Structure 1
Amino acid sequence: MTIVLKGIKLRLYPNKQQQAQLWQMFGNDRFVWNQMLDMAKQRYQNNPSSQFIDQYGMDALLKPLKQEYPFLKRSDSTSLQVVNHNLYQA
């Protein structure tokens, strides 16, 4: 029995507005990653016996973070939650 794997190669050509939205989203994802990582580091420095904040705790911090940095509202909330999930897994 042989297994045949098939794939589709796809290339997208976003227009200028879509490119700007993608760059905004990627930048916001990077910003949230760095902010959450910094918060976790500071929490550990202040109390080394504390546990690393879990994914749901980081998701709860997204709302106040969006209030502090309004440009985060331009990004899809799901992408920011994926960032928190990836940070928690790392």
Structure 2
Amino acid sequence: VKLRLYPNKQQQAQLWQMFGNDRRVWNLMLDMAKQRYQNNPSSHFVNEYGMNYLIKQLKQEYPYLKDSDATSFLV
């Protein structure tokens, strides 16, 4: 099955916003993991459930993340 979408200008803007927000969350999580490892190399890696828990806090810190679909942030 092939499917092709033709979003209008508003939908395109929403998609670009969502992709940008996803990229921002990814980079924030990666930076947090790197800093945690640099501060304490023997600490346990934060798994996907721990990272998903942090998304709520990120949405409070960065209100524009609330404009994206919540499921797009899940690992």
TM-score class, shorter: over 0.9
Following TM superposition, by how much is the alpha carbon of 1:19 offset from its aligned partner in structure 2, in angstroms?
0.3
Q: CA RMSD in A?
A: 0.7
Displaced runs of 4+ in structure 1, greater than 3 A? none
Following TM superposition, by how much is the alpha carbon of 1:68 offset from its aligned partner in structure 2, in angstroms?
0.6
| TM-score, length of structure 2 as denominator length | 0.96
- Calculate percent identity across the aligned residue pairs: 77
Task: Tell me the distance in 1 between the aligned counterparts of 2:55 and 2:3.
Answer: 33
| Structure 2 residue 63 is the aligned partner of structure 1 residue 70 | yes
Number of residue pairs aligned between Structure 1 and Structure 2: 75
Task: Tell me the distance in 1 between the aligned counterparts of 2:34 and 2:53.
Answer: 18
| Structure 2 residue 20 is the aligned partner of structure 1 residue 27 | yes
| Structure 2 residue 2 is the aligned partner of structure 1 residue 9 | yes
Task: Tell me the distance in 1 between the aligned counterparts of 2:37 and 2:4.
Answer: 43
Larger Rg, first or second structure (1 or 2):
1
| TM-score, length of structure 1 as denominator length | 0.80
Tell me the SS of whatever aligns to 1:11.
coil
Q: Which residue of 1 aligns with 2:34?
A: 41
Residue ranges of structure 2 left out of the alignment (5+ in a row): none
Task: Tell me the distance in 1 between the aligned counterparts of 2:22 and 2:46.
Answer: 18
Following TM superposition, by how much is the alpha carbon of 1:51 offset from its aligned partner in structure 2, in angstroms?
1.4
